[in-house]
Amino acid sequence: MAEHILITGAGGFIGQALATSLLEDKNVRSLILTDVLPPKIPTKSAPVDISTFAADLTDPETCSRLITPEVTTIYLLHGIMSGQAEADLELGLRVNIDSMRFITDAIRKQQDQRSKPIRVVFPSSLAVFGPAKENEVVTENTMPLPQSSYGAEKSITEILLNDFSRRGILDARIVRLPTIIVRPGKPTGAASSFFSGIIREPLNGENSTLPVSRDLKAWVCSSRTVIRNLVKAKDIPETKFQGAGRIVNLPGKTVSIEEMLNGLRVVGGDEAVDLVQERHDEKVASIVGSWPANFDTERARELGFNEDVGLEQAFRDYVEDYMPKANGGR
C-alpha cells in the first residue's frame, strides 16, 4: 500500500534519522516534515516526494491543514523535553497536551473520509512511571505514577490515543522509549541530556558534567535501534494490538553510569573519561532518579521489535554515524 507519512518534530535528530530510514521503504511515496522551523530534507536520494514546513501545532487550524485525508501515518515526535517541561508548566501543557488534542481532533473530523484509520506512532517515555522498588521489573501493566510534568503529559497522551484507537478513530502504536544514547548535537532541555553528554562531549575532546551518582542505573537504548523500532512500529498489523492495548515498552539495556564510563574508556580512552566532571544537580537527579531501570519487554519481542546492542557497540555506532572525522573522513 502506498504510504504518505507526516513527521512532526522532524527537525530533531530522531526526526531526521527516521526520515532518512523511511526513504528505504519501497511503500513510502511522500514525506511531510514539520517543526517550528522548516526541517532539513534528507540528503539520501529516493523516489519519494519530500516537503518541509514550519508549523505551530498549538494552533488547531494549522493541525487541520497539515493532516489531510491522504496522510496514512503520523509520527508524533514533537514535544517539550523533561527539564524544560518542569521549568515552564504552561509551555509544556500547550505543546505536550494541547497540540496532541488538536491533532487527534483533526483526525476525528476526517474519520468519514478514510477507508481505514490513520496510523499514529507516538514515542512515549519511561517518565510515565514513578520510582520502582529495588529490582522491580516494569511491564506494560505497571501503573503509571509520573513524578514530573513531562511524564504526566506523556501519560495523558497515552490515554487519549488508547481511547481514540478503541473508538476506531485512529490506529495508535504507543512505544515507550528508553533513554537514547548517544544523541548527536548540543545538550537539550531534557533532564536526561547528560546521558549522551558524558559520552558525546568527551569523544569530541570537550568537558562534560555528570550531575548524578555513578551508581545510578538507567534503561537505555542505542539511537540506531530506536530508529529501527520506530520504523517497525508502523508496520505491525493492527490485529496484534487488539485486546492488549496500544502501549509497548521498547527493548533496551539496564546500565549504571559507572558502566557507561567504562564503555567510554574502551572507545575513547582514559583521556575521554577524565573530561567528565562530577557536579551533583539535585533537580536533575530527582527527575531521572524517579525513572525505573528494569523492564520486561516480552511483548515487544512478540511484536517483532529489535533487541538493542551493547554499550560499546552503541558508542562505536555513534562515532561512525556522527563523527566522520574520526572515521577517516567517512
Instruction: Name the residue with cell 573522513.
Output: 329
Q: Which residues pair with 119 in a beta bridge?
A: 73, 171
The DSSP 8-state label assigned to residue 98 in this structure reads I
Per-residue cell: 39: 526541517
User: Which strands, in side-by-side order, build the sheet including 179-181?
Assistant: 179-181, 217-222, 253-256
- Per the residue annotation, which of 75, 150, 318, 322 is the catalytic one? 150
- 10 Å CB burial of residue 330 (0-12, 13-18, 19+) is exposed
Interatomic CA distance for residues 221 and 39, integer angstroms = 25
Residue 150 is among the residues annotated as catalytic for this protein: yes
Instruction: Name the residue with cell 575532546.
Output: 205
CB environment 104-142: b (16+ within 10 A), e (fewer): bbbbeebeeeeeebbbbbbbbbbbbbbebeeeeebebeb
Q: Which residues are catalytic?
A: 150
